[in-house]
Structure 1
Amino acid sequence: MRIDARGLEFVVRAGGPEGGEPVLLLHGFPQHGGEFDEVVPALHDAGLRTYAPDQRGYSPGARPTDVEAYQLPELVADAAALLDALGVEAAHLVGHDWGAAVAWALAAAHPERVRTLTAVSVPHPAAMAHALAHDPKQKARSSYMALFRQAGTAEKMLLGMRAAGLRRVLSGVGDSARVAAYAEPMREPGALTGALNWYRAMSGAALGAVGPVTVPTTYVWSDGDTAIGRGAAEECARHVTGDYRFVELPGVSHWIPDEAPAPLAEVILARVAGDARTDGTEEL
């Protein structure tokens, strides 16, 4: 389906029972709403209605040219406007990678719109800002961001030779067909620049300004994640005042929805069902 919101047009994958409790799924870089394709069948079987939009920069009808248009408050406003357009007062919220950053910020700013939060891979933005400022290991893990922020240079590096660089970035998502499903849309005019503008508009101050989250929350991290270290992951707990569960997936890479869709669906369903165990780290 295509949804108009804030003067932009977003592509949204919808599925599950029409009357089911709504779940908004927010993707990360450099993917699209299809990254949850292997996760949603279990949610649909449980009676949930899912909506997975291609976010700002990714939907062809939602690609502003100004970098400032990709600041975190704008991305949060998009998610809220999509809920409005769908007629959803409050949804269960799931976000991966950059989608997790948006989900954290939406839950912090508008808790009345969020029933539960399941954040995947990327911790609370303030936890990430703290790690980037104080954890040398996290700084090293995030060093790729400096390249992504270089307009023109990053596009050339990632898209050259039929997007060979982008395909390397995506190598952990699965077989060549799955890599192509994400890489090919990024070759459309303006698509990769829109996606990279999320990094170019990012600031440590904006990340650190995101407030505490009060809604029931699960944070899912994998110890094979090369982008997010344990320090940033464990710092996350300091920024959640509601029911909180930290789930660690051993042996899984950053690409959790692609690599471990069944365990992720199980975690989401547990949170939706009100499983608010807070007995520390849990491994699946």
Structure 2
Amino acid sequence: MIEQGMVELSTGIAMNVAQAGPRDAPPVILVHGFPESHRTWRDLVPLMSDRLRLIMPDLRGYGESDRPQDVADYATETLIADIFALADALNVDRFALVGHDWGGAIAWAAALRGNPRIERLAIVNSPHPLIFQKSLIEDAPQRAASQYMRAFRNPGMEASIQAMGFDAFFDKSFAKHADLSLIPADERQLYIGQWSRPGALTAMLNWYRSSQVVVPAVGENAAMPGWVERGVPKLKIPVRVVWGLEDKALLPIQLEGIGEIGDDVEVFPLPGVGHFAPWEAPGKVAAALKPFLLAR
């Protein structure tokens, strides 16, 4: 059973939060990506909630949560602060963190800050920031696959999406990654209803606009950002990376060198599964995540 409610955060927003599982079970915060909501995890709940406390927010700008309109409201440090503010509001001290897509980007960033409240990190199809940025400069196929990020940063993107219509945008977002015939009509309409709310598109797209990731144009001669040369800390906590190998946006190059980013890193490749693995293969994702999240 999933319970939902609005939670006021110390970061100044109200966040819609879904929860499932025993309140005294090991807590896990699961953070979704673009253009979704806590519904990313809907099919994992019956597979994992018997022994885990699943905390599944609509991140700021998404779903039922508040939708600030300024790009500055989506700075990485602010998005990280939301995660810890949510834990504080729910009286959760230490927790495991699971992230997919943009939620994974924030999960990586939060873990790299070294806060001891994060006990373990699980990632589903979301690239390590160092590997991703290097690939955007050095790997032509990955750069080409990421040009949508440049488009989403365009100030005219909201008008473009509205012109194509939200039904077409739903198909464009998910058709390459999941069998649309398997998505219930009411689930589809739930997403479209959320995207149609005032300010929703701008709020979601501001995740791309606020990001400091450099995405050069195809064929552009681009220099490697200085922070890549300086590097990032190695993670000391256990990390499990679950990866749908048919991801059309994040290519398998994102797994090259992934074992070197921490002291305890395991990779679970999922052949035949694409970017939206929690939708496409919930059983396989849960099988990879559950034992890892229980191993406290």
Work out whether the TM-score is over 0.5.
yes
- Work out whether 1:33 is the aligned partner of 2:55: no
Alignment correspondent of 1:125 = 129
Q: What amino acid is the match of 1:220?
A: V
User: In 2 relative to 1, CA 48–60 (structure 1 residues): closer, same or farther, beyond 3 Å?
Assistant: closer
Superposition deviation, residue 159 in structure 1: 2.6
- Work out whether 1:86 is the aligned partner of 2:78: no
Distance across 1 between alignment mates of 2:252 and 2:167: 30
Is the contact made by 2:26 and 2:294 (CA closer than 8 Å) also made in structure 1?
no
Distance across 1 between alignment mates of 2:226 and 2:196: 29
- Work out whether 1:224 is the aligned partner of 2:246: yes
- Work out whether 1:237 is the aligned partner of 2:239: no
Q: What amino acid is the match of 1:243?
A: D
| Residue deviations 1:91-146 (CA, integer Å, cap 9, x gap) | 11111000001111111114411121110101211211111121111101101111
| Residue deviations 1:67-86 (CA, integer Å, cap 9, x gap) | 02112111111111111111
User: 1:1-284 to 2 correspondence within 5 Å?
Assistant: 1-5=5-9, 6-45=11-50, 47-151=51-155, 153-167=156-170, 168-171=172-175, 172-173=177-178, 174=180, 175=183, 177=185, 178-204=187-213, 208=228, 211-239=233-261, 241-274=262-295
User: In 2 relative to 1, CA 25–59 (structure 1 residues): closer, same or farther, beyond 3 Å?
Assistant: same
Is the contact made by 1:9 and 1:59 (CA closer than 8 Å) also made in structure 2?
no
Is the contact made by 2:120 and 2:293 (CA closer than 8 Å) also made in structure 1?
yes
Distance across 1 between alignment mates of 2:69 and 2:48: 36
Alignment correspondent of 2:218 = none
Distance across 2 between alignment mates of 1:212 and 1:155: 38
User: In 2 relative to 1, CA 37–60 (structure 1 residues): closer, same or farther, beyond 3 Å?
Assistant: closer
Is the contact made by 2:64 and 2:194 (CA closer than 8 Å) also made in structure 1?
no
Is the contact made by 1:60 and 1:191 (CA closer than 8 Å) also made in structure 2?
no
Distance across 1 between alignment mates of 2:226 and 2:72: 12
Structure 1 residues 159-168 or 194-203, which shifts more? 159-168
Structure 1 residues 52-61 or 194-203, which shifts more? 52-61
Normalized per residue, which structure has more helix? 1
Give secondary structure in 2 for the equivalent of 1:218.
strand
Distance across 1 between alignment mates of 2:283 and 2:75: 32
Number of residue-to-residue matches in the alignment:
272
Distance across 1 between alignment mates of 2:124 and 2:259: 14
Distance across 2 between alignment mates of 1:35 and 1:29: 10
Distance across 1 between alignment mates of 2:168 and 2:233: 35
User: In 2 relative to 1, CA 61–38 (structure 1 residues): closer, same or farther, beyond 3 Å?
Assistant: closer
Q: What amino acid is the match of 2:49?
A: H
Superposition deviation, residue 179 in structure 1: 3.4
Give secondary structure in 2 for the equivalent of 1:112.
coil
Superposition deviation, residue 210 in structure 1: 5.3
Superposition deviation, residue 60 in structure 1: 4.7
Q: What amino acid is the match of 2:271?
A: P
State the superposition RMSD in angstroms: 2.0
Is the contact made by 2:35 and 2:204 (CA closer than 8 Å) also made in structure 1?
yes
Give secondary structure in 1 for the equivalent of 2:256.
helix
Any stretches of 5+ residues in structure 1 without a counterpart?
276-284
Identity score, percent:
35
User: In 2 relative to 1, CA 41–61 (structure 1 residues): closer, same or farther, beyond 3 Å?
Assistant: closer
Is the contact made by 1:22 and 1:49 (CA closer than 8 Å) also made in structure 2?
yes
Is the contact made by 2:278 and 2:285 (CA closer than 8 Å) also made in structure 1?
yes
Distance across 1 between alignment mates of 2:168 and 2:194: 14
| Residue deviations 1:133-165 (CA, integer Å, cap 9, x gap) | 2111110110111110011x2112223243144
Structure 1 residues 121-130 or 48-57, which shifts more? 121-130
